[in-house]
Amino acid sequence: MADDARSAARPAPACEVAAQVRSGALTARHVVERHLSAIAELDVELHAFVTVVGEEALADADAVDRRVQAGVDPGPLAGVPVALKDNMCTRGIATTCSSRILDGWKPPYDATVVERLRAAGAVVVGKTNLDEFAMGSSTENSAFGPSRNPYDLERVPGGSSGGSAAAVAAGLAPLALGSDTGGSIRQPAALCGVVGMKPTYGTVSRYGLVAFASSLDQIGPFARTVADAAALFDAIGGHDPMDSTSLERPAPRCVAAVGDGVTGLRVGLVQELLEGAEPAVVAAVRAAAETLEAAGASIEECSIPEVRHALPAYYLLAPAEASSNLARYDGVRYGLRVDAPDVAAMQGATRSAGFGPEVKRRIMLGTYALSAGYYDAYYAQAQKVRTLIIDAFDRAYQHVDVLLGATTPTTAFAIGSKVQDPWSMYLSDVFSVPSNLAGHPAVSVPFGADWSGLPIGVQVLAPALGEAAMLQAAAVIEDGAPPLAPPGVWAEPLGTAGWSSGGRA
């Protein structure tokens, strides 16, 4: 993978690539071509991508280069390859949600985030694998088979945005977008050793994101560094009139805040966000806290017992919304249709054949939770729990600016080890779900590895719209993190380089 003249001694995080494309030192075509070849070479092993869009990507790259040549601003992410989780609509390009039910469907429109990426000069190189309709924590629920963890091909990359996490970890794209409904960005980021951020609900448009649970879904960035994640968030964030739940706020400007340090920042270390975590994970979080303290933050141990109820509440609310959101896949208008003598039978046959077991499980769970006679006991009760969790966070944030905990209880687990036991799989999201219920931002930052070399993620949580402080803390943690060896599957499309050498230099 050596790249002739430009064997820089560093990895090439997104901001650096963009700077070079903007200055003309690198062409976008070159950057994209190198990444496409890396994908062609390595994705056979990883299966991070469901679709690679080589031609379209090169055409987009050329458009960026023409702007550079013409002296027109090509955008802050000029020429940076981006991998998109395949639940975001791309005009004329298959959008599968890793489900058979969307077989053959090509959206007639681009998601808002896709338009914003293009406006920022970024180049979509492909669509990444996920658990079907984002339901899962390992990508094993994909109709196209699991993606693999670049650190250990026998282990999962996490999920549901496992393809995006694996692609960024293996260097197949400097940036990727995922969606996070209960941890689907942060959990795979932790398991793959990359940065993954779930922004405040309403800061990134959901228009064109195929819905799983509308009140929880949020698109967010994957990157190898906190600064890159901030840059991607800045590019895709901001009000969108096409999404009624989009906050009426200007686009975020977090990149500038990333290097500001944490002097005087009050950090709460949440007991409940360590409960049941492996010792190596607990140790990493404590070390991250010390890093913050050493950089000038104050650390306070705190308890938010209400978050223990988050997972059960989540597994009523998310399936309830999903049961309704996924009703439209009925064989009438698009995607799979299994013929049958009458409409109802056709719809039943189509859905039976088109959805995988986990999606069916959640549709049934959600249908039950909303049924007459059960609504109050399940859905309504879960909404009350949600309110309690929001109130509990609000109380905690009266004393601290950000909260710290583990992202996941464990490092990457073996493929097949949890598929027979949904509850143990669900527990993988136990630390990430509370932020979704509250609508708050949270980010997972790599912090070393366990004894077998698998990456560990620590999680920084913040109140609504607290992204700047959250990313400041994340950047300090990143700086102080022990070195993480590059994964076994590792492409260096733009040069030979180390892995965790910061990147904010």
Partner 1 sequence: MGRAARHGRVVVRGSSVSAPSPGAWEPVIGLEVHCELRTATKLFCGCRNAFGDEPNTNVCPVCLGLPGSLPVLNVGAVEMAMRIGLALHCDIRPSTFHRKNYFYPDMPKDYQVSQYDEPINVDGHLELSDGSTVGVVRAHMEEDTGKTTHMGGGGRIHDAEYALVDYNRAGVPLVEIVSAPDIRSAAQARMYAGELRSILMATEASDGRMEEGSMRVDANVSIRRAGEHTLGTRCEIKNLNSLRSLSRAIEHEIERQIAVIESGGAVEQQTRHWDEEGGRTVPLRSKEEAFDYRYFPEPDLVPIAPDPRWQKDVASALPSMPAERRQRLRDLLGSAGEPVTDARVDQIATVVELDLDSLVLGSVNAGIGAPLAIARTANEAAASPEAARAVDHGAYGALLRMEQDGKLSATQAKTVLGDLLVAGGDPADIARRHGFEVLEASSLALVVGEVVQASPEEWARFRDGEDKLAQFFIGQVMKATSGKANGKAVIAELHRLKG
Catalytically active residues, by annotation = 85, 160, 184
Distance CA 93, CA 172 (A): 20
Beta strands in 79-231 (DSSP E): 81-85, 123-128, 175-179, 195-198, 219-223
Q: Choose between 100 and 375: whose C-beta lies nearer to partner 1.
A: 375
- What is the closest distance, in whole angstroms, from the C-beta atom of residue 116 to partner 1 in the complex? 15
Distance CA 411, CA 193 (A): 10
The residue assigned the tokens 């992204």 is 467
Pairing of strands 266-270, 195-198: unpaired
Distance CA 127, CA 176 (A): 9
Q: Choose between 108 and 279: whose C-beta lies nearer to partner 1.
A: 108
Q: Choose between 116 and 206: whose C-beta lies nearer to partner 1.
A: 206
- CB contact at 8 A, 76 and 119: no
Cis peptide upstream of residue 160 (ω within 30 degrees of 0) = yes
Total length of the chain: 505
Residues forming contacts to partner 1 in the complex (CB under 8 A) are 87-89, 95, 97, 102, 105, 107-109, 111, 206-211, 213-215, 241-245, 320-321, 323-324, 327-328, 330, 332-334, 343-344, 347, 367, 370-372, 375, 379
Q: Choose between 157 and 182: whose C-beta lies nearer to partner 1.
A: 182
Q: Choose between 89 and 489: whose C-beta lies nearer to partner 1.
A: 89
Q: Choose between 148 and 206: whose C-beta lies nearer to partner 1.
A: 206
- What is the closest distance, in whole angstroms, from the C-beta atom of residue 356 to partner 1 in the complex? 17
Distance CA 369, CA 93 (A): 35
- What is the closest distance, in whole angstroms, from the C-beta atom of residue 164 to partner 1 in the complex? 17
- What is the closest distance, in whole angstroms, from the C-beta atom of residue 139 to partner 1 in the complex? 19
- What is the closest distance, in whole angstroms, from the C-beta atom of residue 199 to partner 1 in the complex? 17
DSSP 456: E
The side-by-side arrangement of strands in the sheet containing 266-270 is: 49-52, 123-128, 81-85, 175-179, 219-223, 195-198, 442-449, 455-461, 402-406, 266-270, 298-302
- What is the closest distance, in whole angstroms, from the C-beta atom of residue 208 to partner 1 in the complex? 4
**What's the one-letter identity of residue 100?**
R
- What is the closest distance, in whole angstroms, from the C-beta atom of residue 94 to partner 1 in the complex? 12
Bridge partner residues of 268 (DSSP)? 300, 403
Bridge partner residues of 127 (DSSP)? 51, 84
SS3 298: strand
Distance CA 485, CA 119 (A): 34
Count CB-CB contacts under 10 A for residue 10: 14
- CB contact at 8 A, 225 and 504: yes
Q: Choose between 87 and 408: whose C-beta lies nearer to partner 1.
A: 87
Sign of CA dihedral 291, 297, 300, 304: negative
- What is the closest distance, in whole angstroms, from the C-beta atom of residue 130 to partner 1 in the complex? 14
- What is the closest distance, in whole angstroms, from the C-beta atom of residue 495 to partner 1 in the complex? 37
Q: Choose between 27 and 164: whose C-beta lies nearer to partner 1.
A: 164
Q: Choose between 198 and 206: whose C-beta lies nearer to partner 1.
A: 206
Cite the DSSP H helix spans in 47-147: 54-70, 112-119
Lookup: tokens for 89: 């609509």
Pairing of strands 81-85, 175-179: parallel
Q: Choose between 208 and 448: whose C-beta lies nearer to partner 1.
A: 208
The residue assigned the tokens 């560990």 is 456
- What is the closest distance, in whole angstroms, from the C-beta atom of residue 351 to partner 1 in the complex? 10
Count CB-CB contacts under 10 A for residue 82: 32
Count CB-CB contacts under 10 A for residue 241: 10
SS3 152: strand
Cite the DSSP H helix spans in 7-72: 14-23, 28-46, 54-70
Sign of CA dihedral 143, 409, 436, 187: negative
